[in-house]
Amino acid sequence: MWSLRAELLGDSPHLSKEVLKLVADKTDVFTESVIFDILAANPDELRGEELLKYVAEKEIPLPDYMIDILRQVATGSTYKTVLQQEMARYSHDRVRSANDMIRSILNEDELDVIQLRNWLSNLGGIESDKQIIATYLQEGNFSAAFALANTLPQMYNLQQDELTEHDKYMGLLQLEQTLFNEGRKIDQLTQSEQDMVNEFALSSEGSAGAQARGILESFYGADFNDCKSLDGEESFKNTVVNPNLLGEAYGLSILAKPNPAKDWATFDYTLPRQESVAVLEITDANGRIVETMNLSGNQGQKLWDTRNIPSGSYIITIKVAGFLKSIKLIVSK
């Protein structure tokens, strides 16, 4: 893929329409971003609608936003198009509307659980799925709760520490089922159950840890308060905001594929509305920066050459206008 890409870009902008159609069909060899790069390097052949229509209607078409950019390339216009802005605006408005609907449903006199689950599903994300699981638990429907909970690792590609955190979450679900089956309440835990919950409270920084600390503080006299002490008239306020969730709320997204990667990986990204410049930073397991990429365009795809990158776990972070979102990528040779 790399050598053929280099050869075709070297022959650009003199590739014929027939060759460019063959390039567009080689989805088993080229990523979408490579096909886009080669087509964009031959603007003369893009000026007629024939080639653009072909890449839009072939069996595995290019994404609409790429085709729109190619159309702008052919006319000499900017990459930032109305279509891209509308796609980013849709992502932002979808999340905001879903949150508004969920708040409205929760404030009703009678809770409509079916509607709540539908809108949590529309909102998307692992935390929304955990809230759906909680509604099943409240109904005593443990089979539905565990059916969804067991899909989370594959659905969200959980790795290493994330899987460990998921195991603790599943441990608390199993504890709830045991209490339900035995007719016990949360304030009637055995000593071994209390020890397990205490271990989760101390070792988990996720939802399992928060739930475990809440149980121990509410029913067993534990104190996990680590607030700073105040002297005299001093005051202290600390608000912790999850930067990933905040970025998502404003339409920021990034996806790595394939994952695990071998010789290359692509990053599909969408920036918040009206943003068109960002930085993508890749760090290794020790926090060292491996590569930095500049992103342009409200939506796009970047290609990363991993042929000389050691196997291991890497954190991909996209930063834009005070927002950031991180995902994990595994390189496996």
Predicted confidence (pLDDT) per residue in 160-192, tens digit = 889 999 999 999 999 999 999 999 998 899 999
Cα distances (angstroms) measured from residue 184 to each of 38, 138, 145, 278: 65, 15, 19, 53
Note if the bond before 61 is cis, omega within 30 degrees.
no
pLDDT given at position 21: 93
- pLDDT for 153 beyond 50: yes
Predicted confidence (pLDDT) per residue in 193-237, tens digit = 999 999 998 888 888 888 888 888 888 888 876 655 555 565 555
Which architecture, in CATH terms, is 243-331?
Answer: Sandwich (2.60)
- Rounded CA separation 33/297 (Å): 13
Predicted confidence (pLDDT) per residue in 72-131, tens digit = 777 764 444 445 555 666 777 777 788 888 888 888 888 888 998 988 888 888 888 999
pTM over 0.95: no
Residue 2: its H or E element = helix 2-11
Can you tell me the mean pLDDT for 301-315?
A: 90
- Rounded CA separation 310/247 (Å): 30
- Rounded CA separation 326/306 (Å): 19
pLDDT given at position 79: 43
Q: Provide the token pair at 333.
A: 């040779």
Neighbours of 74 (CB within 10 A): 20
Report strand pairing: 277-283 vs 289-296: antiparallel
Burial per residue of 280-299, b for 16 or more beta-carbon CB atoms within 10 angstroms, e otherwise: bbbbeeeeeebeeeebebbb
Domain boundaries, the chain: 2-77, 243-331
Neighbours of 88 (CB within 10 A): 24
Predicted confidence (pLDDT) per residue in 30-79, tens digit = 988 899 889 988 888 888 788 999 998 898 888 888 888 888 777 764 44
pLDDT given at position 85: 54
Note if the bond before 272 is cis, omega within 30 degrees.
no
pLDDT given at position 199: 93
Cα distances (angstroms) measured from residue 238 to each of 224, 227, 228, 235: 16, 9, 10, 10
Q: Does residue 78 sit in helix, strand or coil?
A: coil
Burial per residue of 7-37, b for 16 or more beta-carbon CB atoms within 10 angstroms, e otherwise: ebeeebeebeeebbbebbbeeeebbbbbbbb
CB 48 within 8 A of CB 20: no
- Rounded CA separation 295/277 (Å): 6
pLDDT given at position 240: 54
Neighbours of 184 (CB within 10 A): 13
